[in-house]
């Protein structure tokens, strides 16, 4: 059992066990014995495994096991072991093999030694044959924390509802990376920006039919609405927009985002429920087009919105797990859309929505890793292009042309 799902349904001992695993260090004393810290900090308890199950040295287990079952220390160890097993399942190749070198700028493995620098401390210089950048890996830690595969693992755990503290502890226990949960969140924000900018430039092939619906989420304790627009044929999520109210402003915003992300492809049909805001927004945004609006969609029958409502259900489950969103600038919304479109294979179509839309087919087995590498290459190219353009403008300025 994997204890990061349905946190609200956990009994108190399971919740306290997860808190112990996420905030304290569990040590393995032998093949069948672990030392699990007391939640109040008064030493450790011995949790052992045998052919029957788990046993704990705490008084709660000794005197109440027959009545209440496993204690919080056993639940903590189960959560910890399940998390480590999930990490092993997620990584097909070794996370950071010592004989594989990745460019710290573009993530390419096509790098060679390119001399040394320094007098007292000699440091190896590497040259990337793909982006033509030189770089130095100062320590093993530096190599690991800049490895896109570590970032891929972080995102993979994050979207399996592992908490930030749980991710930090796993990276520490498994790879020796001593990172705080705030550092992990900074990583997530950084790569949300990188991946969102990359995805925004892609041009998915859509059917022109869209199902639009809204779902309420809590942002800083207040109810807001997330408008989602999904292509029913490819399952590609074309827009996901947060709005403070379920009004024409939010509806127009999602329709405008749809038109922008369609990149000139015609919108033929939009299916929504009977909310008046959709009808008024549709008349304003698609007045001079051939698009049709099917309003009043129901749960069943020919006119239904089930496809996008199922997606809304996954959003609600994730929002509940995080006890609401902390701010309107949260990276969760954009990353969840990227995860849905590019990473998770859709059971109904047997591929990711991005692949069904003609993009994202060359990302490899580890979709997060493939996205990161493609986004980094695109980002490097933009930097070089902008640098070259600036140099050209400087030359023009010297010649008096501008």
For the residues 134-139, what does the mean pLDDT come to?
Answer: 64
- Domain parsing of the chain, residue ranges: 7-90, 209-331+346-354
Q: What pLDDT does 167 receive? A: 86
Rounded CA-CA distance 19/329 in Å is 27
Helix (H, G, I), strand (E, B) or coil at 119: coil
Q: Kindly tell me the burial class for residue 157, based on how many C-beta atoms sit within 10 Å of its own C-beta (0-12, 13-18, 19 or more).
A: buried
Q: Which of 71-75, 350-354, 360-364 has the lowest mean pLDDT?
A: 360-364
CATH number of 209-331+346-354: 3.30.420.10
pLDDT > 50? residue 393: yes
Q: Identify the band that residue 397 occupies on the pLDDT scale cut at 50, 70 and 90.
A: low
Q: Kindly tell me the burial class for residue 346, based on how many C-beta atoms sit within 10 Å of its own C-beta (0-12, 13-18, 19 or more).
A: middle
Residue with tokens 């001079």: 288
Q: What pLDDT does 191 receive? A: 85
Q: What pLDDT does 101 receive? A: 57
pLDDT in tens, 252-282: 999 999 999 999 999 999 999 888 999 999 9
For the residues 32-44, what does the mean pLDDT come to?
Answer: 87
DSSP structure class, residue 266: P
């Amino acid at each position: 059992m994997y204890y990061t799902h349905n946190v609200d349904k956990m009994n108190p001992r399971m919740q306290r066990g997860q808190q112990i695993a996420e905030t304290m260090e569990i040590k393995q004393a032998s093949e069948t014995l672990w030392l699990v810290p007391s939640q109040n900090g008064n030493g450790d308890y011995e949790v052992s495994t045998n052919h029957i199950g788990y046993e704990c040295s705490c008084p709660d287990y000794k005197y109440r096991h027959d009545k209440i079952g496993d204690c919080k220390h056993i639940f903590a160890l189960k959560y910890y072991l399940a998390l480590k097993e999930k990490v092993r399942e997620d990584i097909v190749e070794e996370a950071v093999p010592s004989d594989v070198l990745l460019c710290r700028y573009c993530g390419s493995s096509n790098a060679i030694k390119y001399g040394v620098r320094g007098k007292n401390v000699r440091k190896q210089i590497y040259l990337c044959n793909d982006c033509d950048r030189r770089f130095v890996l100062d320590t093993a830690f530096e190599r690991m924390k800049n490895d896109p595969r570590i970032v891929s693992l972080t995102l993979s755990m994050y979207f399996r509802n592992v908490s930030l503290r749980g991710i930090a502890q796993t990276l520490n226990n498994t790879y020796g990376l001593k990172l705080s949960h705030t550092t992990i969140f900074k990583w997530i924000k950084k790569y949300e920006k990188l991946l969102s900018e990359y995805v925004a430039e892609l041009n998915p092939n859509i059917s022109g039919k869209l199902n639009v619906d809204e779902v309420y989420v809590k942002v800083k304790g207040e109810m807001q609405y997330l408008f989602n627009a999904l292509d029913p044929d490819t399952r590609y999520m074309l827009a996901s927009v947060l709005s403070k109210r379920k009004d024409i402003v939010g509806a127009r915003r999602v329709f405008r985002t749809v038109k922008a992300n369609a990149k000139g492809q015609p919108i033929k049909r939009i299916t929504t429920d009977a909310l008046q805001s959709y009808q008024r927004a549709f008349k304003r945004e698609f007045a001079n087009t051939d698009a049709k609006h099917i309003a009043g969609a129901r749960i069943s029958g020919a006119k239904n919105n089930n496809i996008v409502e199922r997606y809304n259900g996954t959003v609600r489950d994730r929002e509940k797990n995080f006890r609401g969103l902390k701010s309107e600038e949260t990276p969760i919304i954009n990353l969840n859309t990227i995860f849905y479109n590019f990473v998770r294979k859709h059971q109904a179509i047997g591929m990711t929505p991005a692949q069904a839309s003609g993009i994202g087919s060359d990302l490899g087995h580890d979709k997060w890793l493939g996205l990161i590498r493609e986004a980094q290459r695109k980002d490097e190219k933009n930097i070089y292009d902008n640098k070259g353009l600036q140099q050209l403008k400087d030359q023009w300025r010297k010649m008096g042309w501008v």
